[in-house]
Amino acid sequence: MVKIIQQTWDELDILAIAELTAAVYKIEGRGDYTLEQVERYLRNMNVRFPIEVAMLATDNGRIAGWIGLERKTENIGEIGRWHPFVGEFADRDNIAKQLIEEVMKYAPMHNMQRLEISFDETFDSNVKAFENRCSWFRSLGWRLVEDTYFMELDSLKDSSEFAIPDGFQLRPLLEIDHDELYKCHHAAFTTSEAREFYDLTSEEKRQHFEKLYDRSQNINPDASFVLTYEENVVSIVLVVSRDDEEHITIVAVHPDFRGRGLAKALLSASIKELRKQGTQNLSIGVDTVNTPAIKLYKKYGFQVTSRLSFYSWRASQR
């Protein structure tokens, strides 16, 4: 009989979790990794996205599946990508749904009013596993919020630079007060094609912003900029350093200043600086319906390498 137990990261048997995860990766066509590789990956991910709680499905004392949950913001929880991981059992779908439901019970009891899950790097080899996972969440009331292209620029070659338009000033992002950044960020995304923003309450939008611009994370200070006009922030580019790449997290332009080449100017300034830093790999994510942004990024040489699907659930749906 399958039993669900709750553990913190420190209580987990990481080797057992890694063994199960590696087996599921192989079964589902997501790669053939060694136990050591998966263990290292899990530990590294927990440094970046600390697990608040893990739910384990056990069958006669053996781990049959697991799911991890982090606290993304004060009121938003995020399930690890491609979770839950469930071994080859006859009732695999039911075990997976039990794990998800346990997280859904845990969330509102611990002040998480919204939960999120995303599936990245979806290819022909794992599309069956992707569709199966989506069906687990949809059956429990989760809904698709956004489809995102993950785009990469492998070589930061010299490219055409766009001059800063007259009247605008280029400034380091970290010099700017958070409230001033938020005015531009909020105005830009309230009128953008990025669907995720519309799925958040006003309070969650601010929490989401604080998470993105958290100055304790690895923001690249020399490649993150704003453009100001008459002392007001009107455009933003935010770059975050990851293990083996730089990632452009935000490109935003205030709606009153669109059509003036500000995004091009900021991207040029950022890429120029990243080239000086010796960056080899640069990535960016963009909603699949945001055609203008996709065209812009392709002009810089970014190519779509995979797709990320994003689902959410709100406790008030119960």
Answer yes or no: do 79 and 189 share one domain: no
> Does residue 298 lie within any of the structural domains?
yes
> Does residue 73 lie within any of the structural domains?
yes
Q: Between 156 and 5, where is the model more confident?
A: 5
pLDDT in tens, 22-80: 999 998 888 899 999 999 999 999 998 899 999 999 988 889 999 999 999 999 999 99
- Tokens 């998800």 — which residue? 100
Answer yes or no: do 284 and 172 share one domain: yes
Domain limits for position 189: 168-310
pLDDT at residue 162 in the model:
76
Residue 121 has pLDDT above 80, yes or no: no
Number of domains present in the structure of the chain:
2
Beta bridge partners of 53: 69
- The number of residues in the chain equals 318
Q: Which of 124, 119, 125 is CA-nearest to residue 30? A: 125
Judging by beta carbons within 10 Å of its beta carbon (0-12, 13-18, 19+), is residue 230 exposed, middle or buried? Answer: exposed
pLDDT at residue 317 in the model:
67
| Mean pLDDT (whole number) for 107-115 | 96
Q: How confident is the model at residue 94 (pLDDT cuts 50, 70, 90)?
A: very high
By the 8 A CB rule, do 311 and 137 touch? yes
Domain-ending residue, one of 141, 176, 201: 141
Answer yes or no: do 180 and 137 share one domain: no
Cα-trace Rg, the chain:
21
- Rounded to a whole number of angstroms, the distance between the first and last alpha carbons of the chain is 27
Domain-ending residue, one of 141, 156, 189: 141
Answer yes or no: do 301 and 187 share one domain: yes
pLDDT at residue 159 in the model:
61
| Mean pLDDT (whole number) for 131-159 | 87
Answer yes or no: do 306 and 199 share one domain: yes
pLDDT at residue 146 in the model:
86
Answer yes or no: do 136 and 174 share one domain: no
pLDDT-above-70 percentage for the chain: 98
Please give the model's pTM, rounded to 2 decimal places: 0.77
pLDDT at residue 269 in the model:
94
> Does residue 152 lie within any of the structural domains?
no
Rounded (5°) CA angle 45-176-261: 90
Answer yes or no: do 207 and 116 share one domain: no
By the 8 A CB rule, do 263 and 271 touch? no
Answer yes or no: do 212 and 299 share one domain: yes
Residue 237 has pLDDT above 80, yes or no: yes
> Does residue 281 lie within any of the structural domains?
yes
Token code pair at residue 244: 């083996």
pLDDT at residue 154 in the model:
74
The CATH number for 187's domain is 3.40.630.30
pLDDT in tens, 157-174: 666 677 899 999 999 999
Answer yes or no: do 77 and 117 share one domain: yes
Answer yes or no: do 132 and 215 share one domain: no
pLDDT at residue 318 in the model:
57
